[in-house]
Amino acid sequence: MKALLLDIEGTLAPLDFVHGTLFPYSAERMADFVANNFNALSVTIELLASEARSDPDADDRIDFGSPGEVAEYLNELIARDRKSTALKEIQGRIWRSGFENDELTAPLFDDVPGALARSHGRGELIAIFSSGSILAQKLFFSHTTSGDLSGLVDAYFDTTTGPKREPSSYIKIAEMLGIGPADIFFISDMLAELDAAAAAGMRTALALRPGNAVINDPGPHRCIGTLDDLE
């Protein structure tokens, strides 16, 4: 094995960290953040307005010159779990201040820091593939319950590379890492992601973590309780 490709939620950290902690954290601070940074956010708010124009569910009476209405619309997007580049940028800034103020800490499972350090020590490449933005992934590894682990991570991929359920995304990642798919171990809690990685020729393991959905038939994928089971 030459590289580990790792999912975050349900694999390295509890499944509900994003929806249970990060999303509410940004929603609670949205109104103040937008009001206090309204001028500095003008380019992002223009992007938000143009996204809204092509969103059939968006109310076309929103006043994008009003901080209150902008914040309310952003929170609606969070509640609807909408993929919005403008929302992601604003959430990323709110999370950054939260991680930097120590109000947010990335809750890694206990085995993760040691396993990453050993893997790194053996010269294996460590890469992340998560639907959270690369900015959010970097914040996550810089502020974990075991301190700053960003030095252990060699590469970050998000859905700008491609969807997590498409084999082509994994082929692209292998190319970008410069490592053959057969030398890459992909670990995730989602069967559809593992199927896509396996179709691209990667080795795969299903992470069985507390809080994950119970999977009765893991198909061809190996099952692991912790990263130590790989060794």
Residues of this chain that interact with Mg ion (CB under 5 A) are: 7, 9-10, 189
Q: Which is nearer to Mg ion, 7 or 158 (CB)?
A: 7
Nearer to Mg ion, 6 or 71 (CB): 6
Q: Cβ-closest residue to Mg ion? A: 10
The amino acid at 223? C
Q: Which residue has the tokens 């403008």?
A: 86
Tokens of 74: 């952003």
User: 213 or 220: whose CB is closer to Mg ion?
Assistant: 213
H-assigned helices in 162-229 = 167-177, 191-199
Instruction: Give one DSSP letter per residue of 138-156, joined into a string.
Output: HHHHHSBTTB--GGG--EE
Q: Supply the minimum distance, in Å, between the C-beta of residue 12 and Mg ion.
A: 9
Closest distance of CB 8 from Mg ion, Å: 6
Residue 103 per-residue DSSP state: S
Q: Which two tokens stand for residue 154?
A: 């060699």
Of 7 and 124, which has the nearer Cβ to Mg ion?
Answer: 7
Task: Return the number of the residue (19 or 122) whose C-beta is nearest Mg ion.
Answer: 19
The distance of closest approach from Cβ of residue 129 to Mg ion in the complex, given in angstroms and rounded to an integer, is 10
Q: In this structure, what token pair is assigned to residue 231?
A: 């060794």
Amino acid sitting at position 29? R
Whose structure tokens read 């912790």?
Answer: 226
Q: How far is the CB of 209 from Mg ion (least distance, A)?
A: 9
In whole angstroms, how close is the CB of 52 to Mg ion at the nearest point?
A: 29
Shorter beta-carbon distance to Mg ion: residue 10 or 181:
10
The residue assigned the tokens 């509640």 is: 79
The closest of 10, 15, 2, 11 to 227, measured between CA atoms, is 11
Distance CA 71, CA 62 (A): 11
Q: Output the smallest distance, CB 189 to Mg ion, in A.
A: 4
Q: State the CB neighbour count (10 A cutoff) for residue 128.
A: 23
